[in-house]
Structure 1
Amino acid sequence: MNLSVGILFAPCIKFRLNGIYRNEAQTYTGECSVIKSEEALILQTSAGQQTISSGFTLTPDEHEQADFDLLDVVIGIHFHWERTENQKFKGALQILDEQQYLTAVNILPLEDYLLSVISSEMSATSSLELLKAHAVISRSWLIAQKVKKERLTADYQSCLRDENQYIRWFDREDHDHFDVCADDHCQRYQGISKAYTPAVQQAIEATGGEVLLYGEEICDARFSKCCGGVSERFDNTWEPVNHPYLTKVIDSASLTPVPDLSREEHAKAWITSAPDVFCNTRDKQVLSNVLNDYDQETQDFFRWQISYTTEELSALVKSKLGIDFGTIHALEPLQRGVSGRIIRLRISGSKKSMVIGKELIIRKALSPSHLYSSAFIIETEKDSSGTPVRFTLKGAGWGHGVGLCQIGAAVMSAKGYNYKEILTHYFPGTKIETIENGELKMKTPPSASLPPPL
């Protein structure tokens, strides 16, 4: 199975072909660039320039020996660690004209894609069982996205906006001309730039073709960095679809019940506490194994806080949403999910009051990049006249919190759980099957319950 991955979005695409690449009868190699003129795309090579069409595809003559470098690829788009780097890729390179910019697309086999994904989403030095777990969920997610793409109808809506509300979620439907993107919006995919290890190759081979199933459907297997102690439901983060395997999971071996975190008083107690759960760790060895270099810059992922003056927050929200609330005087959670994440938040100001959601819009609105998560409480400081002068957000977790918790799974692996036990924990009611030649064949499912830690 081949797939297409959108890598770079820019007015000029610069790349280096390391080997012989072909478009129809013409061959190319070495330094190249593509720019967009008023009427056409211009390809510049050492031999000169030529006009090309959108969808221009360069395919290597020798797949195993050839690769290409994309220059100045932006990673972590809009996140706190955003940066550019040069990246190396196997497979074919396609250049698309998407009106506002050019898009560089990598076309390659699914299993080759997975080699990079599990080295990009985590460190290639992660434990074998964690890499296996991630290989299965990344493979499942990708296939589920291709199925979803085929099922999307023209009237599908991911945004509800009027004078009183701005509710939006971001998912597969945001990509029309390729299967997935290469950044955190989908799955991190950074080509063969990241150092592979024998364990990465072993994890892919050991789980070859394995996917998670719930009933007869391949699971839309999601994951985030740190759930904060309890995972969130799919429908509270994306479209209103119930996936029973993407539900509330307490991130511990004991599965001790927690209060109803959709209630404000319980959410506050939970977020301001430090529960004994898998992802509550500062074990440097575990974290260095699971987090890539730039992710290790983030230390306060389990519990965190950020503070703004009223003026700072008002200016920030206006710049991020393009909505002028005037001077903001209140932030009010209207709906929380099962993990305590805010799904609907009312922002009230001197000019306007409006409800925003879902979780990613809230995270975008209240941070120069992204808040770590929408699981936070609001403390409002007032002056002697009762006027708000500062808002402090105290939060839990890193990411949307749906499905597998990467840091929690890393701790589970360090404690001796195998990949099937990890998957059983985060995706209740699922089973593992394998795809061979496009057909599903049963493999032994994971155990029905989580065993005690070793």
Structure 2
Amino acid sequence: MCSGRKLFLSFLFVCFGQLFIVHGQQVRIGIFRHDPQFSVMVNPSLGDYKLFGDSLELGKLIPGNALKISGDTNGVKVVSLNGETGVFRQVLFVPQDSAADIKFKGIQPSGKEKTYRGKISIDYFNGSLRIINHLDLEDYLAGVVEAEAGYGHHQEFYKVQSIISRTYALAHLYKHEEEGFHLCDQVHCQAFKGKGKANVEILKATQLTHGIVIVDDSLKMITAAFHSNCGGQTANSEQVWTKAVPYLRSVKDPYCVSQPNAYWKKEITALEWASYLKRYSIPVQDSTCFNYCSNFKQPYRMYCLSSCNKSIPFKNMRTELNLKSTFFSVEMLNENTILLRGRGFGHGVGLCQEGAMKMAKLGFDYKTILLHYFTGVHIVDIRTLQNFEDF
């Protein structure tokens, strides 16, 4: 009775902010973080927006009413198509209905046009525009799911990806707190390119899994790692990162082996191969050592290539040789050519996206798919965790 209650209260203490966001629905996402902007063009594409400068309502923007927003020594400079200008510490674009969206295009530096839902705030910070998208968590997740997984897939797979993305977002919610927003739009937070092409379809999947996350035995949200294709077997976390994680265990995956990224090949010259082995002090002048390294089989996922008391971690080889995965074998085609014959695409830890896509097509539900890839986890609705108070 008592221990269960303490566990629940401890969870609330750790995750209070995360619970608040689930119910409060709003997240702040720093956008254009890869190419910080000094100047952007802004244009509503669907619905009307109200424009505020330093909390003062400046007017209404309708589709076709473009504005140029630039950094200025005194803040943010706003220039309309008719030449009207104003300078403010911060400007805010507020949609007048839930379906409205607004387009942003980088001018300095030049960039692709992107569409966003929700509110947008802009100020001048550390030499560039700080642009923050304030939007509903589920709208954000829909954009993340499309950016990370693409469109045109089975809805059950989108449920899987939505739960993974929600778990990651809530577990890392304050990653950029010191910069004034929760998360950014880059891969280390989760790729986010704004409103996607398949927004309605994916948004439905996020809404159908609203509030559902993945937790471990201590009710802590997991590191919901995923990759494109595991090549038939996922990797243990310590084979890629430093720590062994109980729920990130290697599992067999027969579902991805017929998918597009299941296999790859790369040829390098024997001289390049020998030079690379030398970097790790493998005595390539010893024909036994060199031949072993040049005809190495990896029938199941291993940690490193070892020869003559020297070893090279496969995770290093993947990075340094620019390979698609760590799961590969080596074959000497002739005295001049080495063939790397690989399986999978990505780090290989956690959920295999192409395997999950295949499982969804075969009729598996999202819970079965997630439990296949994450060992000993629990799929829960954050909003029902209060039931633990009764234990």
Q: Give the TM-score normalised by structure 2.
A: 0.69
Q: Following TM superposition, by how much is the alpha carbon of 1:429 offset from its aligned partner in structure 2, in angstroms?
A: 0.9
d(CA) in 2 for partners of 1:341 and 1:40? 57
User: 1:90-146 CA deviation, whole Å, 9 max, x = no partner?
Assistant: 122244666475553322121221222223333443222212222211111111112
Assess, with a 3 A threshold, how the Cα gap between structure 1 residues 362 and 66 changes in structure 2: closer, same or farther.
Answer: farther
1:393-408 counterparts in 2 under 5 A?
393-408=340-355
d(CA) in 1 for partners of 2:223 and 2:194? 23
The letter of the residue matching 2:153 is S
| Residue of structure 2 in register with 1:21 after alignment | 51
Assess, with a 3 A threshold, how the Cα gap between structure 1 residues 59 and 339 changes in structure 2: closer, same or farther.
Answer: farther
d(CA) in 1 for partners of 2:314 and 2:96? 46
Q: Is the 8 A contact 1:231 1:339 kept in 2?
A: no
1:266-305 counterparts in 2 under 5 A?
277-282=254-259, 299=260, 301-305=261-265
**Secondary structure, in 3 states, of the residue corresponding to 2:354?**
helix
Query: Which of 227, 230, 253 matches 2:230?
Result: 227
| Residue of structure 2 in register with 1:7 after alignment | 31
| Residue of structure 2 in register with 1:375 after alignment | 327
Query: Which of 224, 249, 252 matches 1:250?
Result: 252
Q: Is the 8 A contact 2:43 2:104 kept in 1?
A: no
| Residue of structure 2 in register with 1:320 after alignment | none
State yes or no: 1:194 paired with 2:171.
no
Q: Which has the larger radius of gyration?
A: 2
User: 1:267-309 CA deviation, whole Å, 9 max, x = no partner?
Assistant: xxxxxxxxxx110124xxxxxxxxxxxxxxxx4x211012344
| Residue of structure 1 in register with 2:161 after alignment | 134
| Residue of structure 2 in register with 1:213 after alignment | 215
The letter of the residue matching 1:210 is I
| Residue of structure 2 in register with 1:182 after alignment | 185
d(CA) in 1 for partners of 2:303 and 2:74? 46
Identical-residue share of aligned pairs (%): 26
**Secondary structure, in 3 states, of the residue corresponding to 2:371?**
helix
Assess, with a 3 A threshold, how the Cα gap between structure 1 residues 372 and 4 changes in structure 2: closer, same or farther.
Answer: farther
User: 1:400-434 CA deviation, whole Å, 9 max, x = no partner?
Assistant: 22211111011111212111111110112111211
User: 1:196-233 CA deviation, whole Å, 9 max, x = no partner?
Assistant: 344x3432232111111112112221211111111123
The letter of the residue matching 1:139 is R
State yes or no: 1:89 paired with 2:116.
yes
State yes or no: 1:366 paired with 2:310.
no
The letter of the residue matching 2:56 is A
| Residue of structure 2 in register with 1:340 after alignment | 301
Kindly tell me the number of residue pairs found equivalent between the two proteins: 331
d(CA) in 1 for partners of 2:142 and 2:180? 23
Query: Which of 145, 159, 165 matches 2:172?
Result: 145
| Residue of structure 2 in register with 1:114 after alignment | 141
d(CA) in 1 for partners of 2:88 and 2:271? 50
Q: Is the 8 A contact 1:68 1:90 kept in 2?
A: yes
Q: Following TM superposition, by how much is the alpha carbon of 1:10 offset from its aligned partner in structure 2, in angstroms?
A: 3.1
1:148-159 counterparts in 2 under 5 A?
149=175
Q: Is the 8 A contact 1:345 1:362 kept in 2?
A: no
Q: Is the 8 A contact 1:230 1:250 kept in 2?
A: yes
Q: Which runs of 5+ in 1 are unaligned?
A: 74-83, 150-171, 252-276, 283-298, 318-324, 347-354, 384-388, 444-454
d(CA) in 2 for partners of 1:431 and 1:406? 19
Q: Which has the higher helix share?
A: 2
Assess, with a 3 A threshold, how the Cα gap between structure 1 residues 345 and 206 changes in structure 2: closer, same or farther.
Answer: farther
Q: Is the 8 A contact 2:50 2:94 kept in 1?
A: yes
d(CA) in 1 for partners of 2:353 and 2:138? 21
Q: Is the 8 A contact 2:91 2:123 kept in 1?
A: no
d(CA) in 2 for partners of 1:43 and 1:313? 55
Q: Is the 8 A contact 1:32 1:43 kept in 2?
A: no
